[in-house]
Structure 1
Amino acid sequence: MFSALVRSPGLKPFMRRVHTGDTVSIKNLRYCGLINGRRMPLSLSTDLITDFGQASTDDDLRYSINYAVLSRDLRSFEKKYSHNSFRSLLQLGEGIFNEVLFSTNCKRATLTLTMDHPDCDVAVEMSRDKSDRPKITLRLDNLGVDTIIGVFKEERLAKQPVVLNLALDLAGEFSVDSIVSSAKNYVSRSQFKTVEALALNVAKLAFQAAENARHCKVSVLKPKAIDETDGVGVSVARSRADVQRQPLVDSQSSDYVPNLSKTAIVRDGKHTVYLAVGSNQGSQLTNIIIALDELAKRNINVRATSSLFRSAPMYYSNQPDFVNGCVKVETELRPQDLLKQIKEIEYEVLGRVKHFDNGPRPIDLDIILYDEAIYNSADLTIPHISMLERPFVLAPLCQLVPPDMLHPVTAEPIHSHWHQLRKTTRADDLQPVIPISGARMLPYGSRTLLMSILNVTPDSFSDGAASNLEIGHTLSRVERMAAAGVDIVDLGGCSTRPGSEQVSEAEELDRVLPVLEQIRKQFPELVVSVDTYRAEVARASVQLGADIINDVSGGLLDDKMYEFVAQSGVGYVLGHMRGNIATMNALSNYDEVAPGEVKQFSDYSPVMGGVCRELGVAIEKMQEAGVRRWQVIIDPGLGFAKKTEHNLELIRDLKKLAQYRQLSLETGQYVSFDDVALLMGPSRKQFIGGITGKPPKDRVFGTAAAVSACIANGADIVRVHDFEPMKDVALVADSIYRTL
C-alpha cells in the first residue's frame, strides 16, 4: 500500500511504498562476554529489518539505522556488562535485543552468536519481533568423529571418519557441551550399517540431550567413502513428536552388526534362501553334491544352482584352492533352525573340523540371504556380513538373482555390488569350471577350449566315410588329436545334418561304445564328449567314462534326457534347435514367435531373443529335473533351424547371448547365462558354403574366420573338424582378444 508523499529536489511528488524487507547488517563483530563467570570470545552478527525507502530515496541517513552508531552501542553494551555475568548465551542475546537492537527504528531482528569450541563450530541464531519471544536455532557444524559405519567387512573392522552437522530449534535453555559430548560418545561407539540410521539416531539423541529442542536436522557426511569427491552423505529432519516412540539404538559392546530395522518377523510358510557353498578338502564336487542331497533330506529343497568357481583362499592363504558356488533353496525352517541343520551337515555328515577361522574344510555352507529379511543374533547375521567383499559369493549369487533385486541393507542392486567388486577382481582369482569324471575340473573362460569332432559315421555332412567305422582308423585320428593338444574329443555315431536318415539306437550304440571303450583305455586323461540326443546312448556312454553329453536337440528329442543328466551329474551341452532332424529347416521364422510369459532384461532381435528365450526355458526345466547349472554348456545351435543371416547374427552378437537374463512371469524362476560356458560350432557349416560357394571340405579358411569371430565375441569352446589349423586360429585369436 502507499503512504506518505515524498518530495525530492527537481522531482514531482510520488507515493512511497513501505519496504519491509530492507536490512541493515553487521557481520562477525568480535565480542567478549561473561557467561557463567567465564570470559567467552564470541563473534556477533545481526540483521535488523527496517524500512530505509526514504533514506535511500533522499540519500539521508536520518531515515535509516546507522550501523556505526549500532556498532558503538554494541561496544557500550559489552563494556557495561564486562563484570556482570550472564547465565547463558540466550540471556546475553535477550539483553542485546532489548537494550541495543530494539532501541533503534527496528521491529524485527536476528542475532547470531558464534563461539569457539574444540570439537565443532557453534552458532546460536535468535530471531524475534519486538513483541514476541525469540525463535532459537543452535547449529553445531563440522563435528568430526571416527566410527564403525558401513556394510563391507573392511568397514566393520576399522573406524572411519564421519562429519556431523546438527541444527536444533529450541524453546529455552541448552548446554552446548552436553549435546556435543553426548553426540561424540554415542557415534564413536556405534556400529551402524548405514549413514541413514546413524543420522536418525543422532537426532533421537539430540532430543534427549536438549530437553527444550522441538525440531532437529542432522546431516552425516562420509568424507572418504568415494574417491574424487569431498564426501557423500545424508540428512534427516525430525520433530520431537516424530521420534518420541522410537527407542535409541544402543550398539555398545555389540559383537555383531546391530539390527537397525524392527525385529525380523519370520512368518510360517515357505521362504526363499540363498546359500553359499564351498569346499577345499577331499573330493570337492562330491562334498558339494552330498551337502545338497542332505539339504533335500531335511526338506530344504534346492530350486536352482550356480556355476562352480575355483578360487584362491581369501583370508588364510596357506591352504588349497576352493571350489565355490551358490544355491537357491526353499524351506519352511526359520533362520536359527536352518542354521542348525546346516551345521549338522557340515560337522556331523561331512566331518568338518574347525581348527581356526577361514581354515580348510570339506564343506562350508553359509546363509547369504533369507527372503528380504535383516536378521541378527550372536551366531547369525543375515544378509551375510562378508558377502559384498567376496567375489566367489557375488559372482555365483548374481547368476541366481535378477538384476533389480536389492540388497536388504544397502538398498542397492546386488548386481551393482558385483559390478563394482569385479573391477578389482583379477581374472585368475575366479575360474569357472565344469566338473568331469574322476573328480577333475575343466576350467574355461581364460582361454578357448578346442573340441575336435570325431564322427564314427559314414554319412556326416562333411566328413562321412566308410573308414570312419573302422576302429583302428578312428583311434589313429584320436592319437593325432591328443598329440595336437585338443581339449575335448566329441565322439558321434549318428549324423544330425538336416534331413538325414536317423540310425537306430542300437546302431548308434554299436558305433560309439567300442570306440569310447578303447579311448578310455589308451587315453585315460582325455576329456571325451558323446554327441547324442538319446538318453540311453548317453547312459551307456557315461558308464564307459564319457565326461560330457553333447545334445544338439537340447532335450527336445528324448524326454528322458534331463532326468538322466540330473542323476549322472555329467556335463551337458544344451543345444538349440526346433522340431526334429527332418523338420528343423522349416522352423526358422523367429518373427512370428510371441515372447511368451517371460521378462527379458534387455532388448533383443527376434532371432537372438527367440534363441535365448527357448534356451532359458530349457534351463528352467532342467533345474526342475535336478540338473545343476554347473553341468550346463550352452550351444545356440548354428545351422539348426537357422538361416544364414541368423547364424551370422548369433556369432556377431554372441556377447548379448552371454549376458542374457530372463524371469518367468508364470513360475517366478530367474535364469541367466552369466558365466555359463558357451560352445560354438561353425565348422564347415552350410552358411559358410553359402558365403564362399565352396563344398564342406574346402571351407577351412571360412571356418577359420568364423572361429576367430566366435572367440572375439566370447566363445569358450569351439567345435571343429580341422583341429590342427584351428588350434593355431584359437591360439592367435586368444592372444588378440583375450590378451593371453
Structure 2
Amino acid sequence: MPKGAALLDYHPSPPRSPPLAVPEDSKRHVSHYSVAPAYSCMTNFQPRKMRSSCQSAHFLRVALRLLPSKPAIRSKIVSASSSSPLSEETLSTSVSSNQITDFSLEQTDPAVLSRCEDLRYQVRGHRLDNPPNNTWNSSVITCSTPISHSTCQISGDTPASAVPSIMNSSIFPKLSCLHEVVIALGSNMGDRVETFDKALNMMKKAGVQVVCHAGLYESAPAYVTDQPKFLNSAVRARTNLDPRALLGVLKDIERSLGRIVNGVRYGPRPIDLDILFYGDVEFSDESLTLPHPRIWERPFVVAPLMDLYNSTLCDGNNIWIKRFEKAKCAWQLMGGDTQLCQDDLKRVLPIGGKLWQWSNRTYIMGILNITPDSFSDGGKYLSVQNAVAQAEALAAAGADIIDLGAQSTRPFATKLTSDEELKRLIPVVDAIKKLPSMESVWLSVDTFHSEVAKEAVKHGVHMVNDVSGGHLDPEMYSTVAKLCVPYIMMHMRGDPATMLQEKNILYKNVSADVGAELCKSLSKAESSGIPAWRIVVDPGIGFSKTCEQNVQLLGDLSGFRSGLASWSLAATKMPMLLGPSRKRFLGKICELEKAEDRDIATIGAVVAGIAQGADIVRVHNVKASIDAIRVADAIFKTKGLTRSLK
C-alpha cells in the first residue's frame, strides 16, 4: 500500500444505506389486472403524467386491441362480459385519459372484479406470436409482457416466488425507441466492486446500454447504521424496455447476485439497483415510483447523480435541466464537496484490491524506461538487473507507482510490435513482483498495445497507462474493460511518429480543445465498459503540442478540466495525471539541452500542476521532487484549495 495512502479494503464489505425503496405511505393501489401472469404490463404510461386504471371496461378494451388476430379468444372475452353492462360497443369506445383515475380495489364492485378475474384467466394462457405496436409516444404505451413485475418490491421484501427469471430480455416487448434512464447502484456485502462489474455486465446483456458512469463513492450506512459501509454509484443508460420490464430485469440481477428477497429492510445487501429516472416519466403504483421518491434526502445518491450531468443531455431538455438544478441545490444544502473526503462519504477508485482516495495528497509515479531509445534515459535500464535496481531506488525515494515502459514514445520513435514489447517487459515485471519492497507500490504499464496490457496485468501490473487514449489499438477499450483495472487515458493526436506534424498541433484554445477531444475518448471507453470510476485523465503535456502550447496547457489545467464537462461532471472529478518531467519545453524555457539537467525545471512544472489540482505527477527523479511535492501538498491540498477546481 503506498505510503500515507488513504486506502480501504473493499473485499468483504457489506451494506449501505437503505435500498432506494418506495416508502409505505407513498404506495398506491394499482389495477388488479396489472399483475396478470400473461400480460402484466397492460398499463397506460404517460410521460409527465402517469395514471393507473382498474376499470374493467378499459382492461377489456386493451385486451381486444391486443388480440385482433385471435378471434376465438376475442369471442370468449366478449361472451365473458355479455352478462354485464360492458358491451362490445362499450369496449370499442375510447376512454379519455382524464377519465382514468386511481382507486383502490375495495372501491370496485365485487361482481365486476369477478368478471375481470374470469377474463384474466381466459386471456392468460394465450401468448401472442406477434404482439401489436408496443410504442412509447406522447400519449400512451401499451405493453404486453409474459411476466408480472408489479409484484417485485423495490424494498427488497419480495417473495422469491414472485421474482421472475428474466435475464433473457428478448421475452419482453420492446418500445419503438430508446429512452434515457438513470439507475443507482449500491453494495455493502462481499467484493463490492466485483459485484458492480457483474451487475453492469448483466444489464448490458439484458438490453440496458450504459453510456455514462458516475464516480464511485463509499458512504456510511443510513437508517440502519450497524452495518458495513456501502459503495455507491449511478449510471446513465438507454433502453427500450418499458419501466416495469426494466424493474423486473434489475430485480432479477439482484437475485442472481445473491440478494435475499426477504432480507432486512435497509439492511446489508450484496447489490441494490434502483431506477431513479425513466425519461421524463412521473408515475406511482405499489411497485414502482418514478422519479425515485427519496433521491433528494440521500447524499450517497445525489453525489453520483451530479456526476452524470452533462450539457448535451440537458441541451433543450427542460426536464433534465430542472433535475440537475434540483440535484445541485440539494448537494449544496448537504454541504457540497466539503462533505467528501470525510468518513461518511468518500470518492474512491479501486486498485489492487483496495479503494484509493486520491484527493488528500499528490501521488508520485516514478518512470522506469526499459528501452534503448527513450529521450532521457534510453539504454540505462534495458537489462533486468538494472531495471530492478532502479525500481527499488524509486520505491525507496517515495514513489507510490512505478510506470514500466518497454516502448519509447518520444517524437519519431520506432514503433515496436506487441511481441517485441513483451519480450522486454515481462521479465522485468516478474522480477520486480518478487521484491518485498514492492508490496506497497503499484505497477503501471506504459503501452498502447492491448495485448501488452493484457499480459502485463496477468503478470501482476495494477493499471494501464495508454498515451494514445485508445486510438492506436481498437481493442484497447474492450480489453481494459475485461481486465477491470484503472485506465490512464492521455490526450495525443496521431502517434509518436506523427504527433508533431502541422495538422496535429493546430488548436483554437489548447486547454479547451484537449479537454473536448479527450471527452470523445471517454465516451467510447465508457460505452465499451470502462466505468468512469476506473479512469485517470492526462492532458498529454509534450504530446502533439508545441512548446508554447505546453506552457499554455500547464497554465490552464482548470480549463482542461472544464472541457471535460461536455461529457460528464464525473470526468471533471477524475484523478488527473501530469507528466512534464524533463520535457523539451522545459529545456527551451531554461536553455537546458540535456534532458537529465531538467529536474529542477520539472519541479517547477509539477508544483504549478499541483496548485491546479493535479493528483498524480509522473517524474524521472523521485528523490529530487518529493520534498517540493510535500510542500505543495501542505499549501494546496490540506486547505482544500484545489477542490474548487474539480
Which TM-score applies when normalising by structure 2? 0.67
For residue 733 of structure 1, the aligned residue among 632, 635, 638 is 632
Aligned residue number for residue 97 of structure 1: none
1:699 aligns with 2:598: yes
Aligned residue number for residue 167 of structure 1: none
Aligned pairs for 1:586-625 within 5 A: 586-587=501-502, 591=506, 606-625=509-528
Aligned pairs for 1:304-383 within 5 A: 304-352=212-260, 355-383=263-291
Aligned pairs for 1:431-470 within 5 A: 431-437=346-352, 439-465=353-379, 467-470=380-383
Deviation, structure 1 residue 362: 0.9
Distance 1:488 1:353 in 2: 42
Distance 2:482 2:388 in 1: 30
Q: Would the alpha carbon gap of residues 621 and 272 (structure 1) be closer, same or farther in structure 2, given more than 3 Å must change?
A: same
Q: 1:307, 1:432 within 8 Å by CA — same for their partners in 2?
A: yes
Q: Which amino acid in structure 2 is aligned with residue 700 of structure 1?
A: D
For residue 562 of structure 2, the aligned residue among 650, 659, 672 is 659
Deviation, structure 1 residue 699: 1.3
Q: Which amino acid in structure 2 is aligned with residue 427 of structure 1?
A: C
For residue 640 of structure 1, the aligned residue among 518, 525, 543 is 543
1:290 aligns with 2:204: no
Aligned residue number for residue 535 of structure 1: 450
Q: 1:679, 1:719 within 8 Å by CA — same for their partners in 2?
A: yes
Distance 1:411 1:315 in 2: 25
Q: Would the alpha carbon gap of residues 412 and 555 (structure 1) be closer, same or farther in structure 2, given more than 3 Å must change?
A: closer
For residue 395 of structure 1, the aligned residue among 299, 303, 323 is 303
Distance 2:579 2:503 in 1: 18
Distance 2:376 2:205 in 1: 50
Q: Would the alpha carbon gap of residues 480 and 696 (structure 1) be closer, same or farther in structure 2, given more than 3 Å must change?
A: same
Deviation, structure 1 residue 407: 5.7
Q: Aligned pairs, how many?
A: 472
Distance 2:366 2:401 in 1: 6
1:677 aligns with 2:575: yes
Q: Which amino acid in structure 2 is aligned with residue 413 of structure 1?
A: E
Q: Secondary structure at the match of 2:307?
A: coil
Q: Secondary structure at the match of 1:659?
A: helix
Q: 1:383, 1:408 within 8 Å by CA — same for their partners in 2?
A: no
Q: Would the alpha carbon gap of residues 698 and 670 (structure 1) be closer, same or farther in structure 2, given more than 3 Å must change?
A: closer
Q: Would the alpha carbon gap of residues 477 and 354 (structure 1) be closer, same or farther in structure 2, given more than 3 Å must change?
A: farther
Aligned pairs for 1:88-237 within 5 A: none
Aligned residue number for residue 385 of structure 2: 472
Q: 2:512, 2:562 within 8 Å by CA — same for their partners in 1?
A: no
Deviation, structure 1 residue 410: 6.3
Q: Secondary structure at the match of 1:442?
A: strand
Q: Secondary structure at the match of 1:585?
A: coil
Distance 2:265 2:287 in 1: 14
Q: Would the alpha carbon gap of residues 264 and 327 (structure 1) be closer, same or farther in structure 2, given more than 3 Å must change?
A: farther
Deviation, structure 1 residue 271: 2.0
Identical pairs, percent = 38
For residue 531 of structure 2, the aligned residue among 628, 632, 649 is 628
| Bigger proportion of residues as strand | 1
Q: Which amino acid in structure 2 is aligned with residue 304 of structure 1?
A: C
Rg larger for: 1
Q: Secondary structure at the match of 1:489?
A: strand
Deviation, structure 1 residue 617: 1.0
For residue 585 of structure 2, the aligned residue among 677, 687, 693 is 687
Q: Would the alpha carbon gap of residues 422 and 358 (structure 1) be closer, same or farther in structure 2, given more than 3 Å must change?
A: same
For residue 502 of structure 1, the aligned residue among 400, 411, 415 is 415
Q: Secondary structure at the match of 2:388?
A: helix
Q: 2:254, 2:272 within 8 Å by CA — same for their partners in 1?
A: yes
**What are the Cα deviations for residues 265-295 of structure 1, in whole angstroms up to 9, with x where unaligned?**
5563332211011211111111111111222
Aligned residue number for residue 490 of structure 1: 403
Distance 2:405 2:509 in 1: 32
Q: Would the alpha carbon gap of residues 579 and 730 (structure 1) be closer, same or farther in structure 2, given more than 3 Å must change?
A: same
Structure 2 gap segments, 5+ residues each: 1-19, 26-48, 50-97, 105-137, 143-174, 640-646
Q: Secondary structure at the match of 1:273?
A: strand
Q: Would the alpha carbon gap of residues 390 and 648 (structure 1) be closer, same or farther in structure 2, given more than 3 Å must change?
A: farther
Once the two structures are overlaid, the 10-residue window that deviates more, 539-548 or 706-715, is 539-548
| Bigger proportion of residues as helix | 2
Deviation, structure 1 residue 486: 2.0
Deviation, structure 1 residue 697: 1.1
Q: Secondary structure at the match of 1:427?
A: coil
1:567 aligns with 2:482: yes
Q: Which amino acid in structure 1 is aligned with residue 207 of structure 2?
A: N
Q: Which amino acid in structure 1 is aligned with residue 298 of structure 2?
A: R
Q: 1:657, 1:673 within 8 Å by CA — same for their partners in 2?
A: no
Q: Would the alpha carbon gap of residues 356 and 691 (structure 1) be closer, same or farther in structure 2, given more than 3 Å must change?
A: same
Q: Which amino acid in structure 2 is aligned with residue 610 of structure 1?
A: D
Distance 1:653 1:354 in 2: 53
**What are the Cα deviations for residues 41-88 of structure 1, in whole angstroms up to 9, with x where unaligned?**
xxxxxxxxxxxxxxxxxxxxxxxxxxxxxxxxxxxxxxxxxxxxxxxx
Deviation, structure 1 residue 674: 2.4
Q: 1:658, 1:714 within 8 Å by CA — same for their partners in 2?
A: no
Q: Would the alpha carbon gap of residues 528 and 414 (structure 1) be closer, same or farther in structure 2, given more than 3 Å must change?
A: farther
Once the two structures are overlaid, the 10-residue window that deviates more, 319-328 or 510-519, is 319-328
Aligned residue number for residue 515 of structure 1: 428
Q: 1:572, 1:633 within 8 Å by CA — same for their partners in 2?
A: yes
Deviation, structure 1 residue 588: 6.5
Q: Secondary structure at the match of 1:630?
A: helix
Deviation, structure 1 residue 497: 0.8
Q: Would the alpha carbon gap of residues 291 and 590 (structure 1) be closer, same or farther in structure 2, given more than 3 Å must change?
A: same
Q: Secondary structure at the match of 1:584?
A: coil
Q: 1:275, 1:327 within 8 Å by CA — same for their partners in 2?
A: yes
Aligned residue number for residue 464 of structure 2: 549
Distance 2:415 2:513 in 1: 27
Deviation, structure 1 residue 406: 5.4
Q: Would the alpha carbon gap of residues 502 and 320 (structure 1) be closer, same or farther in structure 2, given more than 3 Å must change?
A: same
Aligned residue number for residue 498 of structure 2: 583
Deviation, structure 1 residue 381: 2.0
Aligned residue number for residue 57 of structure 1: none
Q: Secondary structure at the match of 1:372?
A: coil
Structure 1 gap segments, 5+ residues each: 1-152, 159-196, 198-244, 252-262, 594-604, 664-668
Higher relative contact order (CA 8 A, sep 6+): 2
Q: Secondary structure at the match of 1:366?
A: strand
Q: Secondary structure at the match of 1:718?
A: strand
